[in-house]
Amino acid sequence: MTREDDVPGLPPDAAAAAVNQVEGYLLVQAEWDTARREGEEFARRMPWLTTGQHEEVARHYAEQRMLVTRQTLRRIAARADELRGEYQARYDLLRERVMRLAALAVCAAVLWSACLTTWAWWYAGG
């Protein structure tokens, strides 16, 4: 049984990892393109720069922008991990409470059934 989105010859986890890697690469390349374009726009605002200075300012701007982007993504990833841990702890606690409540409900139902059976037996003259 295969799904439509499965990649033939690859386990689903490997296919997902490959897709994530390609997606990450494409996102980084798009970010570099944006950083270079913004660097060019920034350097164009300084018409007194020589060609070499213009290229250096644009390159430094793009590198700095990518550094800030990397730092931001790392902070976001760290926060996502923190939230995942918090939500997992909340889920585990909620699951434990639901399981306890279900066990209590089963015990109450068994006890109620036993009481009704005993009462019926007693009432019938047992």
User: Biggest alpha carbon distance in the chain?
Assistant: 110
Write out the residue range of the structural domain in which residue 55 sits: 12-99
Task: Say which residue the tokens 């494409």 belong to.
Answer: 26
- With b for 16 or more beta-carbon neighbours within 10 A and e for fewer, the 16-36 pattern comes to eeeeeeeeeeeeeeebeeebb
The answer to whether residue 86 is domain-embedded is yes
Task: Say which residue the tokens 């923190």 belong to.
Answer: 82
The answer to whether residue 89 is domain-embedded is yes
Q: Reduce the DSSP state of residue 14 to 3 states and report it.
A: helix
d(CA 66, CA 73): 10
The answer to whether residue 109 is domain-embedded is no
The answer to whether residue 110 is domain-embedded is no
The answer to whether residue 4 is domain-embedded is no
Task: For the chain, 126 residues long, give each residue's pLDDT as a single digit of tens.
Answer: 445 556 567 687 888 888 989 998 999 999 999 999 999 999 999 999 999 999 999 999 999 999 999 999 999 999 999 999 999 999 999 999 999 999 999 999 999 999 999 988 888 876
Query: How many domains are there within the chain?
Result: 1
How large is the angle between the packed helices 51-123 and 12-44, nearest 10 degrees?
140
- H helix intervals, the chain: 12-44, 51-123
